[in-house]
Amino acid sequence: MTQGGERPDGERRAGRGPSRADDGGADRGGRTSGRSGSRFDGGSGDRTGGRSDGRGGPGRGSSGRGRPGRGGPGQARDGRGEQGRDGVAMRGGPRLAPKQERKPEPAIDEDVTGFEIDRAVKNELRTLSKDNAKGVGQHLVMVARLLDADVVAARAHAETAVRRAGRVAAVRETRGLVAYREADYQLALSEFRTARRLSGSQHLLPLMVDCERGLGRPERALELAGSPEARTLGRAERIELLIVCSGIRRDMGDLDAAVVLLETPELNPNRRDPWSARLFYAYAAALLERGDRDLARAWFAEAADADSDVETDAAERLDELDGVVFVDLGGGDEAAPEADPAESVTDPGEPVDVEPSEPGEADQREPVNDGHDRGGQSEPVDADQSLPDDAGPREPVEHGEGEQG
Protein backbone atom coordinates (compact mmCIF):
# COMPACT_ATOMS: atom_id res chain seq x y z
CA MET A 1 0.00 0.00 0.00
CA THR A 2 1.88 3.01 -1.22
CA GLN A 3 -0.70 5.71 -1.32
CA GLY A 4 -0.46 8.51 1.10
CA GLY A 5 -1.08 12.24 1.29
CA GLU A 6 -0.23 14.36 -1.71
CA ARG A 7 2.11 17.28 -2.01
CA PRO A 8 0.76 20.48 -3.51
CA ASP A 9 2.71 19.63 -6.69
CA GLY A 10 1.00 16.23 -6.93
CA GLU A 11 3.74 14.17 -5.35
CA ARG A 12 3.24 11.90 -2.41
CA ARG A 13 4.76 13.23 0.79
CA ALA A 14 5.59 10.28 2.92
CA GLY A 15 8.23 7.77 3.75
CA ARG A 16 11.44 9.64 4.29
CA GLY A 17 13.11 6.94 6.29
CA PRO A 18 16.57 6.39 7.71
CA SER A 19 19.13 3.97 6.41
CA ARG A 20 18.59 0.25 6.70
CA ALA A 21 21.25 -0.05 9.38
CA ASP A 22 19.53 2.53 11.55
CA ASP A 23 16.16 0.97 10.90
CA GLY A 24 17.01 -2.54 11.93
CA GLY A 25 19.50 -1.88 14.70
CA ALA A 26 17.61 0.79 16.57
CA ASP A 27 14.32 -1.06 16.58
CA ARG A 28 15.75 -4.43 17.46
CA GLY A 29 17.85 -2.92 20.20
CA GLY A 30 14.87 -1.17 21.75
CA ARG A 31 12.78 -4.30 21.64
CA THR A 32 15.49 -6.41 23.26
CA SER A 33 15.91 -3.87 26.01
CA GLY A 34 12.21 -3.86 26.74
CA ARG A 35 12.07 -7.63 26.92
CA SER A 36 14.96 -7.72 29.33
CA GLY A 37 13.32 -5.21 31.65
CA SER A 38 10.01 -7.06 31.90
CA ARG A 39 11.11 -10.65 31.71
CA PHE A 40 14.04 -10.47 34.08
CA ASP A 41 12.62 -8.66 37.08
CA GLY A 42 14.78 -10.62 39.47
CA GLY A 43 15.41 -13.06 36.62
CA SER A 44 18.45 -14.78 35.18
CA GLY A 45 20.95 -12.01 35.85
CA ASP A 46 19.85 -11.73 39.46
CA ARG A 47 19.81 -15.48 39.98
CA THR A 48 23.38 -15.75 38.76
CA GLY A 49 24.54 -13.09 41.19
CA GLY A 50 22.63 -14.59 44.10
CA ARG A 51 23.92 -18.09 43.41
CA SER A 52 27.57 -17.05 43.42
CA ASP A 53 27.12 -15.00 46.59
CA GLY A 54 25.31 -17.83 48.37
CA ARG A 55 27.84 -20.44 47.51
CA GLY A 56 30.88 -18.40 48.29
CA GLY A 57 29.62 -16.39 51.26
CA PRO A 58 28.83 -17.33 54.84
CA GLY A 59 25.11 -16.78 54.61
CA ARG A 60 24.22 -20.20 53.26
CA GLY A 61 26.41 -22.18 55.68
CA SER A 62 25.46 -20.25 58.81
CA SER A 63 21.72 -20.24 58.22
CA GLY A 64 21.41 -23.81 57.12
CA ARG A 65 18.91 -22.97 54.37
CA GLY A 66 20.78 -19.91 53.21
CA ARG A 67 18.03 -18.14 51.25
CA PRO A 68 17.31 -15.35 53.78
CA GLY A 69 21.00 -14.77 54.14
CA ARG A 70 21.59 -13.89 50.50
CA GLY A 71 22.61 -10.32 49.84
CA GLY A 72 23.15 -8.04 46.89
CA PRO A 73 21.13 -8.77 43.79
CA GLY A 74 19.47 -11.77 45.41
CA GLN A 75 17.44 -9.50 47.68
CA ALA A 76 15.02 -8.70 44.88
CA ARG A 77 14.16 -12.35 44.48
CA ASP A 78 13.86 -12.95 48.23
CA GLY A 79 11.68 -9.91 48.66
CA ARG A 80 9.37 -11.13 45.98
CA GLY A 81 9.13 -14.54 47.64
CA GLU A 82 8.29 -13.06 51.06
CA GLN A 83 5.52 -10.98 49.57
CA GLY A 84 4.11 -14.14 48.04
CA ARG A 85 4.06 -15.95 51.41
CA ASP A 86 2.35 -13.00 53.07
CA GLY A 87 -0.27 -12.87 50.36
CA VAL A 88 0.63 -9.33 49.35
CA ALA A 89 1.67 -10.16 45.79
CA MET A 90 1.41 -13.20 43.59
CA ARG A 91 4.35 -14.84 41.90
CA GLY A 92 5.12 -13.22 38.57
CA GLY A 93 5.33 -9.63 39.79
CA PRO A 94 4.10 -6.81 37.54
CA ARG A 95 3.01 -9.16 34.79
CA LEU A 96 -0.09 -10.03 36.84
CA ALA A 97 -0.86 -6.43 37.82
CA PRO A 98 -4.38 -5.20 36.98
CA LYS A 99 -4.70 -3.87 33.43
CA GLN A 100 -5.44 -0.23 32.82
CA GLU A 101 -8.98 0.71 32.00
CA ARG A 102 -9.61 0.67 28.25
CA LYS A 103 -10.07 4.07 26.67
CA PRO A 104 -13.40 4.84 24.98
CA GLU A 105 -13.43 3.91 21.33
CA PRO A 106 -14.79 6.06 18.48
CA ALA A 107 -18.16 5.09 17.06
CA ILE A 108 -18.46 2.76 14.08
CA ASP A 109 -20.91 3.50 11.29
CA GLU A 110 -23.86 1.14 11.24
CA ASP A 111 -23.12 -0.12 7.73
CA VAL A 112 -19.51 -1.11 8.56
CA THR A 113 -19.12 -4.82 9.25
CA GLY A 114 -15.33 -5.09 9.32
CA PHE A 115 -15.29 -7.60 6.48
CA GLU A 116 -14.76 -4.94 3.80
CA ILE A 117 -10.99 -5.08 4.24
CA ASP A 118 -8.63 -6.77 1.77
CA ARG A 119 -7.99 -10.48 1.97
CA ALA A 120 -4.34 -9.93 2.86
CA VAL A 121 -5.35 -7.82 5.85
CA LYS A 122 -7.89 -10.44 6.90
CA ASN A 123 -5.13 -13.02 6.94
CA GLU A 124 -3.06 -10.82 9.24
CA LEU A 125 -5.99 -10.38 11.62
CA ARG A 126 -6.38 -14.14 12.02
CA THR A 127 -3.81 -13.99 14.79
CA LEU A 128 -6.42 -12.19 16.90
CA SER A 129 -9.54 -13.52 18.54
CA LYS A 130 -12.65 -13.51 16.38
CA ASP A 131 -14.32 -10.60 18.16
CA ASN A 132 -11.14 -8.55 18.30
CA ALA A 133 -10.39 -9.19 14.63
CA LYS A 134 -13.85 -7.97 13.70
CA GLY A 135 -13.50 -4.82 15.80
CA VAL A 136 -10.05 -4.01 14.44
CA GLY A 137 -11.32 -4.54 10.91
CA GLN A 138 -14.15 -2.09 11.53
CA HIS A 139 -11.74 0.58 12.73
CA LEU A 140 -9.52 0.05 9.69
CA VAL A 141 -12.51 0.51 7.40
CA MET A 142 -13.44 3.71 9.23
CA VAL A 143 -9.91 5.04 8.75
CA ALA A 144 -10.17 4.50 5.00
CA ARG A 145 -13.57 6.17 4.95
CA LEU A 146 -12.56 9.25 6.98
CA LEU A 147 -8.98 9.83 5.87
CA ASP A 148 -9.87 12.37 3.18
CA ALA A 149 -12.86 13.92 4.95
CA ASP A 150 -11.84 14.10 8.64
CA VAL A 151 -8.25 13.18 9.39
CA VAL A 152 -8.68 13.78 13.13
CA ALA A 153 -11.48 11.22 13.33
CA ALA A 154 -9.42 8.86 11.17
CA ARG A 155 -6.55 9.21 13.63
CA ALA A 156 -8.81 8.22 16.54
CA HIS A 157 -9.80 4.99 14.77
CA ALA A 158 -6.19 4.23 13.81
CA GLU A 159 -4.99 4.71 17.39
CA THR A 160 -7.75 2.43 18.65
CA ALA A 161 -6.72 -0.25 16.18
CA VAL A 162 -3.10 0.03 17.35
CA ARG A 163 -4.16 -0.40 21.00
CA ARG A 164 -6.09 -3.54 20.10
CA ALA A 165 -3.66 -5.08 17.59
CA GLY A 166 -0.30 -3.35 17.80
CA ARG A 167 1.57 -6.41 16.51
CA VAL A 168 -0.30 -6.53 13.19
CA ALA A 169 1.65 -4.98 10.33
CA ALA A 170 -1.42 -3.67 8.47
CA VAL A 171 -2.56 -1.83 11.61
CA ARG A 172 0.80 -0.09 12.08
CA GLU A 173 0.88 0.78 8.38
CA THR A 174 -2.56 2.37 8.68
CA ARG A 175 -1.45 4.46 11.65
CA GLY A 176 1.57 5.57 9.63
CA LEU A 177 -0.59 6.64 6.70
CA VAL A 178 -2.71 8.83 8.96
CA ALA A 179 0.40 10.45 10.44
CA TYR A 180 1.75 10.92 6.93
CA ARG A 181 -1.43 12.68 5.86
CA GLU A 182 -1.06 14.99 8.85
CA ALA A 183 2.57 15.74 7.84
CA ASP A 184 3.83 14.14 11.05
CA TYR A 185 6.71 12.55 9.18
CA GLN A 186 8.64 11.41 12.25
CA LEU A 187 5.73 9.36 13.56
CA ALA A 188 4.86 8.13 10.08
CA LEU A 189 8.43 6.97 9.54
CA SER A 190 8.45 5.12 12.87
CA GLU A 191 5.18 3.33 12.08
CA PHE A 192 6.29 2.41 8.55
CA ARG A 193 9.53 0.96 9.89
CA THR A 194 7.61 -1.08 12.44
CA ALA A 195 5.20 -2.35 9.78
CA ARG A 196 8.11 -3.30 7.52
CA ARG A 197 9.80 -5.20 10.35
CA LEU A 198 6.60 -7.09 11.20
CA SER A 199 5.70 -8.01 7.62
CA GLY A 200 9.08 -8.25 5.95
CA SER A 201 7.65 -6.41 2.93
CA GLN A 202 9.44 -3.48 1.27
CA HIS A 203 6.39 -1.88 -0.37
CA LEU A 204 6.49 1.03 2.09
CA LEU A 205 9.98 2.07 1.00
CA PRO A 206 8.80 4.97 -1.26
CA LEU A 207 6.81 6.42 1.62
CA MET A 208 9.77 6.07 3.98
CA VAL A 209 12.02 7.87 1.49
CA ASP A 210 9.51 10.69 1.18
CA CYS A 211 9.28 10.96 4.98
CA GLU A 212 13.03 11.51 5.07
CA ARG A 213 12.52 14.21 2.48
CA GLY A 214 9.84 15.85 4.64
CA LEU A 215 12.19 15.78 7.63
CA GLY A 216 14.77 17.74 5.65
CA ARG A 217 17.24 14.90 5.14
CA PRO A 218 17.59 14.57 1.35
CA GLU A 219 20.94 12.79 1.42
CA ARG A 220 19.60 10.18 3.81
CA ALA A 221 16.51 9.79 1.64
CA LEU A 222 18.60 9.14 -1.47
CA GLU A 223 20.73 6.66 0.45
CA LEU A 224 17.61 4.72 1.44
CA ALA A 225 16.30 4.89 -2.12
CA GLY A 226 19.52 3.29 -3.35
CA SER A 227 19.49 0.46 -0.81
CA PRO A 228 19.40 -3.18 -1.97
CA GLU A 229 15.80 -3.45 -0.81
CA ALA A 230 14.75 -0.95 -3.47
CA ARG A 231 15.67 -3.44 -6.19
CA THR A 232 13.02 -5.85 -4.94
CA LEU A 233 10.14 -3.40 -5.47
CA GLY A 234 7.38 -4.06 -7.96
CA ARG A 235 6.76 -1.77 -10.90
CA ALA A 236 4.16 0.43 -9.15
CA GLU A 237 6.36 0.96 -6.09
CA ARG A 238 9.38 1.57 -8.29
CA ILE A 239 7.56 4.32 -10.20
CA GLU A 240 6.50 5.91 -6.92
CA LEU A 241 10.10 5.82 -5.73
CA LEU A 242 11.27 7.54 -8.94
CA ILE A 243 8.67 10.27 -8.47
CA VAL A 244 9.85 10.90 -4.91
CA CYS A 245 13.52 10.93 -5.93
CA SER A 246 12.76 13.38 -8.73
CA GLY A 247 11.18 15.69 -6.18
CA ILE A 248 14.25 15.37 -3.96
CA ARG A 249 16.49 16.36 -6.88
CA ARG A 250 14.30 19.39 -7.50
CA ASP A 251 14.59 20.36 -3.84
CA MET A 252 18.37 20.16 -4.17
CA GLY A 253 18.37 22.32 -7.32
CA ASP A 254 19.47 19.52 -9.67
CA LEU A 255 16.72 20.10 -12.23
CA ASP A 256 18.29 18.14 -15.09
CA ALA A 257 18.56 15.04 -12.92
CA ALA A 258 14.95 15.52 -11.78
CA VAL A 259 13.82 15.38 -15.42
CA VAL A 260 16.06 12.50 -16.52
CA LEU A 261 15.02 10.29 -13.60
CA LEU A 262 11.46 10.13 -14.93
CA GLU A 263 12.31 9.41 -18.57
CA THR A 264 11.54 5.71 -18.36
CA PRO A 265 9.63 3.38 -20.69
CA GLU A 266 6.55 3.98 -18.52
CA LEU A 267 6.60 7.65 -19.54
CA ASN A 268 4.49 6.99 -22.62
CA PRO A 269 1.50 9.23 -23.44
CA ASN A 270 -0.17 6.35 -25.24
CA ARG A 271 -0.28 4.25 -22.07
CA ARG A 272 -2.83 4.49 -19.28
CA ASP A 273 -1.47 2.65 -16.27
CA PRO A 274 -2.52 3.20 -12.64
CA TRP A 275 0.57 5.36 -12.14
CA SER A 276 0.41 7.26 -15.45
CA ALA A 277 -1.32 10.40 -14.15
CA ARG A 278 1.15 10.89 -11.32
CA LEU A 279 4.15 10.10 -13.49
CA PHE A 280 3.06 12.53 -16.22
CA TYR A 281 2.34 15.19 -13.61
CA ALA A 282 5.72 14.83 -11.91
CA TYR A 283 7.48 15.01 -15.28
CA ALA A 284 5.53 18.14 -16.25
CA ALA A 285 6.34 19.80 -12.91
CA ALA A 286 10.04 19.06 -13.35
CA LEU A 287 10.00 20.45 -16.90
CA LEU A 288 8.20 23.61 -15.80
CA GLU A 289 10.67 24.24 -13.00
CA ARG A 290 13.52 23.80 -15.45
CA GLY A 291 11.93 26.39 -17.75
CA ASP A 292 10.45 24.21 -20.52
CA ARG A 293 7.02 25.82 -20.39
CA ASP A 294 5.60 24.54 -23.69
CA LEU A 295 6.68 20.95 -23.12
CA ALA A 296 5.45 21.13 -19.52
CA ARG A 297 2.04 22.27 -20.75
CA ALA A 298 1.83 19.29 -23.08
CA TRP A 299 2.56 16.84 -20.27
CA PHE A 300 0.14 18.58 -17.88
CA ALA A 301 -2.50 18.01 -20.56
CA GLU A 302 -1.57 14.33 -20.72
CA ALA A 303 -1.73 14.09 -16.93
CA ALA A 304 -5.16 15.70 -16.82
CA ASP A 305 -6.42 13.29 -19.49
CA ALA A 306 -5.06 10.27 -17.62
CA ASP A 307 -6.24 11.42 -14.18
CA SER A 308 -9.69 9.86 -14.14
CA ASP A 309 -9.62 9.57 -10.33
CA VAL A 310 -8.55 13.21 -9.82
CA GLU A 311 -5.40 12.31 -7.91
CA THR A 312 -3.61 15.47 -9.04
CA ASP A 313 -4.43 19.09 -9.83
CA ALA A 314 -3.21 18.76 -13.42
CA ALA A 315 -6.31 20.42 -14.85
CA GLU A 316 -5.83 23.48 -12.64
CA ARG A 317 -2.15 23.72 -13.53
CA LEU A 318 -3.07 23.54 -17.20
CA ASP A 319 -5.55 26.39 -16.79
CA GLU A 320 -2.91 28.48 -15.04
CA LEU A 321 -0.52 28.03 -17.95
CA ASP A 322 -3.28 28.97 -20.40
CA GLY A 323 -4.12 32.09 -18.40
CA VAL A 324 -7.65 30.95 -17.58
CA VAL A 325 -9.10 32.82 -14.60
CA PHE A 326 -12.21 31.58 -12.84
CA VAL A 327 -14.53 34.09 -11.19
CA ASP A 328 -16.81 33.00 -8.38
CA LEU A 329 -20.35 34.06 -9.28
CA GLY A 330 -22.04 32.30 -6.39
CA GLY A 331 -22.08 35.28 -4.01
CA GLY A 332 -25.87 35.69 -3.96
CA ASP A 333 -25.90 36.42 -0.22
CA GLU A 334 -23.54 39.36 -0.56
CA ALA A 335 -25.03 42.82 -0.52
CA ALA A 336 -25.20 44.57 -3.86
CA PRO A 337 -22.81 47.50 -4.24
CA GLU A 338 -24.34 50.84 -3.43
CA ALA A 339 -24.91 53.23 -6.30
CA ASP A 340 -22.76 56.29 -6.53
CA PRO A 341 -24.79 59.27 -5.21
CA ALA A 342 -23.29 61.44 -7.92
CA GLU A 343 -24.81 59.20 -10.60
CA SER A 344 -28.31 59.24 -9.04
CA VAL A 345 -28.76 63.03 -9.04
CA THR A 346 -31.40 64.10 -11.53
CA ASP A 347 -30.13 66.17 -14.40
CA PRO A 348 -31.70 69.64 -14.10
CA GLY A 349 -32.12 69.72 -17.86
CA GLU A 350 -34.40 66.68 -17.91
CA PRO A 351 -38.16 67.12 -17.46
CA VAL A 352 -39.59 65.81 -14.22
CA ASP A 353 -42.73 63.74 -14.45
CA VAL A 354 -44.83 64.76 -11.49
CA GLU A 355 -48.22 63.32 -10.68
CA PRO A 356 -50.39 63.84 -7.62
CA SER A 357 -50.26 60.98 -5.11
CA GLU A 358 -54.04 60.93 -4.80
CA PRO A 359 -56.80 62.43 -6.89
CA GLY A 360 -57.63 65.91 -5.74
CA GLU A 361 -54.19 66.67 -4.37
CA ALA A 362 -53.02 68.96 -7.11
CA ASP A 363 -50.84 71.04 -4.85
CA GLN A 364 -48.33 68.26 -4.23
CA ARG A 365 -46.18 66.06 -6.43
CA GLU A 366 -44.58 62.66 -5.96
CA PRO A 367 -41.45 62.75 -3.82
CA VAL A 368 -38.33 63.12 -5.91
CA ASN A 369 -35.17 61.32 -4.84
CA ASP A 370 -32.35 63.81 -5.08
CA GLY A 371 -29.69 61.21 -4.24
CA HIS A 372 -29.13 62.28 -0.63
CA ASP A 373 -29.91 60.07 2.34
CA ARG A 374 -32.77 61.44 4.39
CA GLY A 375 -33.56 58.44 6.49
CA GLY A 376 -35.36 56.63 3.69
CA GLN A 377 -37.73 59.51 2.84
CA SER A 378 -37.50 62.26 0.30
CA GLU A 379 -38.88 65.76 0.70
CA PRO A 380 -41.98 66.53 -1.38
CA VAL A 381 -41.77 69.15 -4.05
CA ASP A 382 -44.50 71.77 -4.24
CA ALA A 383 -46.25 71.75 -7.59
CA ASP A 384 -46.49 75.54 -7.62
CA GLN A 385 -42.88 76.02 -6.71
CA SER A 386 -41.07 77.49 -9.64
CA LEU A 387 -38.15 75.55 -11.08
CA PRO A 388 -34.87 77.05 -12.15
CA ASP A 389 -34.81 78.81 -15.50
CA ASP A 390 -32.54 76.18 -17.04
CA ALA A 391 -34.77 73.32 -15.98
CA GLY A 392 -36.67 73.35 -19.27
CA PRO A 393 -40.43 73.36 -19.81
CA ARG A 394 -42.49 72.00 -17.00
CA GLU A 395 -45.02 69.25 -17.50
CA PRO A 396 -48.64 70.39 -17.18
CA VAL A 397 -50.21 69.48 -13.86
CA GLU A 398 -53.41 67.47 -13.96
CA HIS A 399 -56.07 68.59 -11.54
CA GLY A 400 -58.68 66.52 -9.87
CA GLU A 401 -62.30 66.55 -10.89
CA GLY A 402 -64.19 69.69 -9.92
CA GLU A 403 -61.13 71.91 -9.99
CA GLN A 404 -60.51 74.48 -12.68
CA GLY A 405 -57.11 74.91 -14.27
pLDDT digits (tens, 9 = 90+) for 25-67: 333 333 333 333 333 333 334 433 344 344 444 444 444 444 4
Q: Cα(295)–Cα(91) distance, rounded to whole angstroms? A: 74
| Residue 183 near residue 206, CB atoms below 8 Å | no
Of 106, 121, 122, 102, the residue nearest 157 (C-alpha):
106
pLDDT tens for residues 370-382?
444 444 444 444 5
pLDDT band at 323 (very low <50, low <70, confident <90, very high): confident
249: closest CA among 225, 272, 271?
225
The per-residue pLDDT for 157 is 97
d(CA 193, CA 25): 11
pLDDT of residue 104: 87
Q: What is the pTM of this model?
A: 0.58
- pLDDT confidence band for 270 (50 / 70 / 90): very high
Residue 305 CB neighbour total at 10 angstroms: 16
Phi, psi torsion values for 25, nearest 5 degrees: -65, -45
Sequence-separated (6 or more) residues with CB below 8 Å from residue 139: 105, 106, 108, 157, 158, 160, 161, 164
Helix ranges (H only) for 215-312 are 218-225, 235-251, 255-260, 276-290, 293-306
340: three-class secondary structure by DSSP:
coil
What is the C-alpha to C-alpha distance for residues 358 and 365, in angstroms, rounded to an integer? 10
Q: Output the CA–CA distances (angstroms, integers) from residue 284 to 164, 178, 209, 267, in the order listed.
A: 44, 28, 22, 11
Residues 158/144, Cβ–Cβ less than 8 Å = no
Partners of 364 in the beta sheet?
382
Q: Facing residues of 382 across strands?
A: 364
- DSSP assignments along 184-209, one per residue: -HHHHHHHHHHHHHHH---TTHHHHH
Q: How far apart are the first and last CA of the chain?
A: 95
- CA–CA gap between residue 221 and residue 255 (Å, rounded): 17
Q: How confident is the model at residue 302 (pLDDT cuts 50, 70, 90)?
A: very high
Q: Is the pLDDT of residue 232 over 70?
A: yes
What is the reported pLDDT for 349? 53
User: What ranges do the domains of the chain cover?
Assistant: 1-30+105-200
Confidence of residue 93 (pLDDT cuts 50, 70, 90): low
Backbone torsion region of residue 128, taken as left when φ is above 0, otherwise alpha when ψ lies between -120 and 50, otherwise beta: beta
Segment 152-172 mean pLDDT: 97
Residue 364 CA to residue 338 CA, distance in Å, equals: 30
Count helices and strands in the chain by DSSP H and E runs: 17, 0
pLDDT mean over 266-274: 94
The answer to whether residues 175 and 194 touch, using CB atoms and an 8 Å cutoff, is no
